[in-house]
Amino acid sequence: MKELTVNLGEYSYSVLIGNGFWKDIPKIVESDFPDSKIFIVTDENVNEIYGNEFESCFSNPCKRIVLRQGEGTKSFKSYEQLCDNLLSFGIKRNDLLVAFGGGVIGDLVGFVSATILRGVKFVQIPTTLLAQTDSSIGGKTGINTKFGKNLVGAFNQPQKVFIDTDFLKTLNNRIFSDGMAEVIKYGCIYSENLFQKLNKLNEVNIFSEINEIIYECCDIKRHVVETDEKEAGLRKILNFGHTFGHVIEKAFEYERYTHGESVAGGMVAISLLGEKYNLTEKGTTARIINLLNKFNLPIKFEKISKQTAEKIIQNDKKATSNSIDFIFINQIGKAFVKPLDISKIINDLDDMNYFS
Ligand SMILES: NC(=O)c1ccc[n+]([C@@H]2O[C@H](COP(=O)([O-])OP(=O)(O)OC[C@H]3O[C@@H](n4cnc5c(N)ncnc54)[C@H](O)[C@@H]3O)[C@@H](O)[C@H]2O)c1
């Protein structure tokens, strides 16, 4: 097992990465938090596969709360329901929430942890590839509103993150590929080495290297978050592909394409624009498309109208009046931030036949 420390002063924490140790996590948690009552929060799918066995590994009785699976659970309604459940069980300030699931559970539980009783500790046990490489580290927590995704939330770092890659064995292929979009993103923005390593793999043989790959992604995220916890500068590069990704997700009301699939489309769009503006080395988009194809990520999407795209970008929480910080890459492994006029970008993509 490998360990990383995210150094954020008094909010520092460790990330344990390995496989075959998930049944030992309860004992570690109990020894780390001997005076806390444990509240496990999970979703119905994770609960079905792992819930009973996981809970049985705790020595002391704990409470398990099972929520519906899916993005719909990152809502005011589930937030209220979870808070009510925890309060009815008599949660106290020194108790511990265990977020056991994918990014949806991690984001919601992290936000409840930031706010219930004005703050209760939580640990993350991410069970999807996306959550193991991205959402469980860095402390961004929150829920969606009718105006868009993640619009209500808090920066709230976990006490510890436990990553057991054995959980990935029960993911369906689409959800695994979904997480691969974020893994490929790390290669694009930060590590040509990682990008090249991924190029030599496919969705079957990647499992022989998965621990190392997840470690590399977490280490990149660690570095970025340590440098810029609240996203004033460097952390923005993690949004590579996310502005157009968000357009794709939102245009189809989060139902047609997953987050990772949408980010895949977003990375292709911004890289194409980068090549058009001579900001990105020629041929980069072709390399990204080739890698996305290997991991079954789509690069073609049902067309969206120009007006819809523009409206969604203007409502993006990162937009200021008419411009938004776009993340470009000069070449694979090197990203930078460039604020650009939203209408210009939309018109240029329209010229490239991107919209209906
Ligand atoms: N906080 C952050 O920094 C950050 C970063 C990226 C994404 N996110 C958020 O993460 C969310 C997406 O996370 P996700 O892709 O993990 O989605 P998810 O939590 O909905 O999980 C995807 C599906 O996989 C199932 N699942 C989870 N673990 C499983 C396992 N081991 N075996 C079988 N099935 C399993 C879930 O029940 C669900 O159906 C989005 O809401 C996104 O906004 C947050």
Nearest Cα residue to 271 out of 187, 212, 194: 187
Three-class HEC string of 43-70: EHHHHHHHHHHHHHCCCCCCEEEEECCC
Is the C-beta atom of 265 inside 6 A of ligand 1? no
Residue with token string 């899916």:
70
φ, ψ of residue 53 in degrees (nearest 5): -65, -40
Encode pLDDT of 182-203 as tens digits: 999 999 999 999 999 999 999 8
Residue 317 reports pLDDT greater than 80:
no
Of 22, 73, 107, 133, the one to substitute when testing ligand 1's pocket (max ligand atoms within 8 A of C-beta) is: 107
Question: CB neighbours of 203 closer than 8 A, spacing ≥ 6?
Answer: 173, 176, 177, 180, 294, 295, 296
Residue carrying structure tokens 């990203």: 335
Q: What is the DSSP letter of 268?
A: H
Q: What is the DSSP letter of 304?
A: B
Total-model pTM: 0.96
Question: How far apart, in whole angstroms, are the C-alpha atoms of residue 291 and residue 131?
Answer: 21
Using N-to-C axis directions, what is the helix angle for 173-190 and 192-199, rounded to 10°? Answer: 140
Distance from residue 67's CA to the centre of ligand 1 (Å): 13
Does ligand 1 come within 6 angstroms of the Cβ of 101?
A: yes
CA 68 to centroid of ligand 1, rounded, Å: 12
Give the distance, in angstroms, between the CA of residue 215 and the centroid of all CA atoms in the same chain.
15
Q: What percent of the chain has pLDDT over 90?
A: 90
Q: What is the residue with the minimal CA distance to atom 25 of ligand 1?
A: 45
Query: What residues are labeled active site?
Result: 118, 140, 182, 221, 231, 235, 239, 242, 246, 259
Model pLDDT, residue 354: 83
pLDDT tens, position by position, 83-140: 999 999 999 999 999 999 999 999 999 999 999 999 999 999 999 999 999 999 999 9
Is 241 a pocket residue for ligand 1 (Cβ < 6 Å)?
A: no
Q: CA 39, CA 67: separation in Å to the nearest integer? A: 13
Our answer on whether the CB atom of 95 is closer than 6 Å to any ligand 1 atom is no
* Separation of CA 166 and ligand 1 centre (Å): 16
Q: Is the CB of 74 under 6 A from ligand 1?
A: yes
The three-state secondary structure class of 281 is coil
Ligand 1 centre distance from Cα of residue 101 (Å):
7
pLDDT digits (tens, 9 = 90+) for 46-65: 999 999 999 999 999 999 99
The answer to whether the beta carbons of residues 316 and 246 sit under 8 Å apart is: yes
Task: Return the number of other C-beta atoms located less than 10 Å from residue 85's C-beta.
Answer: 16
Ligand 1 near 293 CB (within 6 A): no
Probe residue for ligand 1, chosen from 54, 130, 161 as the CB with the greatest number of ligand atoms within 8 Å: 130
- Mean pLDDT value of segment 281-296: 97
Residue 69 near ligand 1, beta carbon < 6 Å = yes
Residue 146: pLDDT band (50, 70, 90) is confident
- The 10s digit of each residue's pLDDT in 28-50 is 999 999 999 999 999 999 999 99
Closest ligand 1 atom to the C-alpha of 134? Answer: 5
The CA 220 to ligand 1 mean position distance, Å, reads 20
**Ligand 1 mean position, distance from CA 130 (Å):** 6
On the CB side of 142, CA atoms within 13 Å amount to 13
Is 104's C-beta closer than 6 angstroms to any atom of ligand 1? yes
Could you give the CA distance from residue 244 to residue 349 in angstroms, rounded to a whole number?
11
Contact 235 CB / ligand 1 (< 6 Å): no
